[in-house]
Structure 1
Amino acid sequence: MVTNEQRESAFLWTLDLLNEGVVALPLVSQDFSPEDWAFVFEGLPQDLRFSLWKALTEDKKSSILAAMRDDSREQLISLLSNQNLEDVALASSTEQLVEILDVLPKRVVNGLIKKLSPADTEELEDALNYSEEQLGRYVNHDVYSVNKSASVGEALAELKLEDLPVYTDSILVVDDSDHYLGQIDIKLLINSPKDTNVLQLAEFSDHVLAADMTLFDASESVKNCGRSMLPVLDKSGRLLGRFTIKDAIDVYQEYYEEQLSHMGRVSDEDLFAPVFTSARRRASWLGINLITAFAASFVIGIFEEVVVQVVALAVLMPIVASMGGITGSQTLTLTIRGLATGQLASSNLKALGNKEVRVAFLNGILWALVVSAITSVWFDNPWLSVIIAIALIVNMLIAALSGIFIPVLLDRMGIDPALAGSVILTTITDVVGFFVFLGSASLLLI
């Protein structure tokens, strides 16, 4: 098993070589799990991912795609040809195929379904009958079961010929129609008389999972049951597969990463997603934030008839500060996540900075045009429109840079960036925003 330190060291070594135009795999990568490889790919800029992907053997690719975050997986798939995608999909297990099916081109999916075996097609259709939040969609089919008519001796003889799936502490007993009848601890099976029928030893307990329960509830059940796996049944009691303690850990990790990501409204965004993709996704949140900012400004503006033009600046100041704040928080969240997972280092810091500045510039232009148009109508003063447009663009660019360098500097100083980063970021965006806004007004209005 590869430790986090080994994985991060291998990632940085690979990243440095790729930046020099050299494609090489570290020796420790021979022991990499799909999750380890997913970690490496998610920390690489887009142009380097394809170079590394080509160096991998075909048997690794399907499991790596399935282990990647949704957005990172989609970005990598966009770099591959349809033929490459079909080859990867055909080498995938049903569980892996369910993970990647939604982001495959329709032409690939149509061709793929025609080439699947009847058994794989049936498993795939069963999985797709469940929603993305339900256990049945992601059930692990790598499960060992025996028929109720088998004896202990027959079951043990079969076990000697096959490798048990990992996280297997019991054998599942089924009837001729694959309906679940109970489970037998492996230790009990080994110590029982060989002529005993397995059904006599099978214990049917409440420790089973319904396919229509949520993934989080299933994870809680596995965590509390004291077993390394639990069987998954459909409504008729037919055994679909199993859910292991490793599956539960994966669900917990994804759940808590989502909670962190939602703090900055960046969801599952890839560190190096294309600029236009990132700008489009964040634009909606910036628009929502803009509405609340204008609401605060409108309350202040109710009194505009009794004040002079300078007070109009005070009416608009919250917009500049607020738009800079949310821009910085989006970048701040991505940076903290990259630092926490070890995917962000000095080797790729510049690439992330370039990408984030371009995203901020595009969104700055977009919302500067919107705000300046509203300002022009509201105050009937074109100079005010120019001033606030300049202030918005500059403040959002500064906010993006601050969102990267503040957590990096705090991390190097031994200070938790998750606790202190947002406070410093807010101060910078407020000070810079007000200085640029009021300074421009002093030059152009007075």
Structure 2
Amino acid sequence: MISIEQKKAAFDWLIDQAAKGTNALPIEAAQFSDSDWALLLESVANEHRLGIWQSIPQALQSQVLAEMRGDARNLLASQLSSSSLNTLARESSSEDLIEILDVLPNKTVAKIIKKLPAESQVQAEESLAYKESEIGRYASKDVYTAISHASVGAVLSELKEIDLPAYTDSITLVNESGLYVGEVDLNAIFSAKPEQLMENIIAANVQVINAKASLINASDQVKSSGRSMLPIVNDDNKLIGRFSLKDALDVFQEHYEAQLSHMGNVSDEDLFAPTLLSARRRAVWLGINLITAFMASFVIGVFDQVVAQVVALAVLMPIVASMGGITGSQTLTLTIRGLATNQLSQSNFKVLGKKEVQIAFLNGLLWASVVAIITGYWFDSLGLSLIIAFALVINMAVASFSGVIIPIIMDKMGIDPALAGSVVLTTVTDVVGFFVFLGSAAIILV
């Protein structure tokens, strides 16, 4: 078995060779898994990926493509020929096939599906009928089922002839129409009498996942169930597949990676995507950020005469914006985490909002006092000290409230708060902070 050090050395050598235009493989490559190949492809420049791809054993290629992150997978798939994509589709498992089809144009998807075997066509069309955010789209068809009125002996005889799918701790029972009946634990089968019927030893309180559940909710369900996998059923209670603990862990990993990348508004961007493509994507968010910056500048412009008469205001303005910004971002992070882990809902977000505003108010009083003392000593102005203290307390309280309410509203609108929440929050804290600070100065100092 290849060690981590050997794998890292082989990766470094391959990346270096790819940069030189050489597609030679080290002997360690024979022991690479599909995940290893996927990571390697994501670690090299896009123009070098096709050469490495052609060196991957054909039996692994469909799994490797499915393992890759969305953007990198899309860029590689765009370089493959139609015949290569058709071959990959035919050799893919049901869940890998959907991962591959998801990154292809609709016309290409339709052509590939037409060339699949009849059973695979039906499975693909059923999966694609669900949204990309719904678990039914990615349900694994690799599930062992038995008819509910079958005898334990008959099932045991069949189990001796087959290899159960990984992460199987129970047998899924269905009726003749394919409707879900229940689960029978493997331990219960081995301890039951051969003449007993499977339907008489069904495990109690086994959860099922609705096919329209979100990926993250389905993953939470599996994690909290204490089982290796859970069945997925549609609205008619028909079994459409299963969702394993491994699948749930993969979803969690992708989810938290997305949260991190969204903090910089780069989403699922491929690390080595073409420069122009990455620049175009980021330009959108830079433009949005520029608009919000102009909004803050407009507020400052309204009070330009005040700033011109009291130059100290310009010196102190960044403090007001910064304190509001960091207070809001702390609350925003907590709220997004609460939404992601299902701890936060319509029934308890008001409690969190009240608590966060109280925290901001207490911290506002503390640090407003510190800033007021420093300002009074620095500029020898009691009025300026009172103004900045007042502005800090108000802005920090508003920022904290916004840090709760903005993600809640965005979540209800179907907008990812991790992607856009920070932009909106920054606008709120800047506009409110500058308006309160400069507005108060206009009343008191001028």
- TM-score under structure 2 length normalisation: 0.65
Letter in 1 for 2:51: S
Q: Residues 348-390 of structure 1: CA distance to partner in whole angstroms, max 9, x if unpaired? A: xxxxxxxxxxxxxxxxxxxxxxxxxxxxxxxxxxxxxxxxxxx
Q: Is the 8 A contact 2:18 2:44 kept in 1?
A: no
Q: Residues 31-50 of structure 1: CA distance to partner in whole angstroms, max 9, x if unpaired? A: 44433322111111112211
Corresponding residue of 2:63: 63
Q: Residues 184-235 of structure 1: CA distance to partner in whole angstroms, max 9, x if unpaired? A: 1112212222222222222253421111111111111111111111111111
Q: For residues 33 and 131 of structure 1, what CA distance do their matches in structure 2 show? A: 30
Instruction: Give the drift of 1:25.
Output: 3.8
1:142–1:3: structure 2 CA closer, same or farther, 3 Å change rule?
farther
**Structure 1 residue 196 and structure 2 residue 196: aligned?**
yes
Corresponding residue of 1:128: 128
Q: Is the 8 A contact 2:183 2:206 kept in 1?
A: no
Q: For residues 6 and 218 of structure 1, what CA distance do their matches in structure 2 show? A: 37
Letter in 2 for 1:213: A
Q: For residues 76 and 158 of structure 1, what CA distance do their matches in structure 2 show? A: 42
Q: Which runs of 5+ in 2 are unaligned?
A: 319-446
Corresponding residue of 1:246: 246
Alignment of 1:8-407 (within 5 A): 8-302=8-302
Instruction: Give the drift of 1:296.
Output: 3.6
Instruction: Give the drift of 1:137.
Output: 0.7
Q: For residues 12 and 252 of structure 1, what CA distance do their matches in structure 2 show? A: 28
Letter in 2 for 1:178: G
Q: How much identity, in percent, do the aligned residues show?
A: 48
1:130–1:7: structure 2 CA closer, same or farther, 3 Å change rule?
farther
| SS state at 2:160 partner | helix
| SS state at 1:267 partner | coil
Q: Residues 11-70 of structure 1: CA distance to partner in whole angstroms, max 9, x if unpaired? A: 223212323443244445444443332211111111221110011122211111111111
Q: For residues 7 and 183 of structure 1, what CA distance do their matches in structure 2 show? A: 41
Instruction: Give the drift of 1:288.
Output: 1.0
Instruction: Give the drift of 1:248.
Output: 0.5
Q: Is the 8 A contact 1:85 1:108 kept in 2?
A: no
Q: For residues 162 and 40 of structure 1, what CA distance do their matches in structure 2 show? A: 34
Instruction: Give the drift of 1:91.
Output: 1.5
Q: Is the 8 A contact 2:113 2:124 kept in 1?
A: no
Instruction: Give the drift of 1:122.
Output: 1.7
Q: Is the 8 A contact 1:180 1:233 kept in 2?
A: yes
| SS state at 1:161 partner | coil
Instruction: Give the drift of 1:110.
Output: 3.1
Letter in 1 for 2:286: L
- Higher mean C-alpha displacement, 292-301 vs 84-93: 292-301
Q: For residues 102 and 199 of structure 1, what CA distance do their matches in structure 2 show? A: 38
- Higher mean C-alpha displacement, 85-94 vs 29-38: 29-38
Instruction: Give the drift of 1:4.
Output: 6.0
Q: For residues 199 and 269 of structure 2, what CA distance do their matches in structure 1 show? A: 50
Q: For residues 275 and 170 of structure 1, what CA distance do their matches in structure 2 show? A: 49
| SS state at 1:184 partner | strand
Instruction: Give the drift of 1:174.
Output: 1.2
Letter in 1 for 2:13: W
| SS state at 2:247 partner | helix
Letter in 2 for 1:48: H
| SS state at 2:227 partner | coil
Q: Is the 8 A contact 2:86 2:115 kept in 1?
A: no
1:291–1:52: structure 2 CA closer, same or farther, 3 Å change rule?
same
1:26–1:250: structure 2 CA closer, same or farther, 3 Å change rule?
farther
Q: For residues 133 and 307 of structure 2, what CA distance do their matches in structure 1 show? A: 55
Instruction: Give the drift of 1:306.
Output: 10
Q: Is the 8 A contact 1:182 1:205 kept in 2?
A: no
1:165–1:3: structure 2 CA closer, same or farther, 3 Å change rule?
farther
Alpha-carbon RMSD across the aligned residues, in angstroms, is: 2.7
Instruction: Give the drift of 1:244.
Output: 0.5
1:150–1:305: structure 2 CA closer, same or farther, 3 Å change rule?
closer
Equivalences, count: 313
1:156–1:5: structure 2 CA closer, same or farther, 3 Å change rule?
farther
Q: For residues 183 and 198 of structure 2, what CA distance do their matches in structure 1 show? A: 9
| SS state at 2:54 partner | helix
Instruction: Give the drift of 1:106.
Output: 4.5
| SS state at 1:56 partner | coil
Q: Is the 8 A contact 2:101 2:109 kept in 1?
A: yes
| SS state at 1:230 partner | strand
Q: For residues 287 and 121 of structure 2, what CA distance do their matches in structure 1 show? A: 43
Q: Is the 8 A contact 1:146 1:173 kept in 2?
A: yes
Letter in 1 for 2:192: S
Q: Residues 92-139 of structure 1: CA distance to partner in whole angstroms, max 9, x if unpaired? A: 222122112133244532332222222212211221221111110110
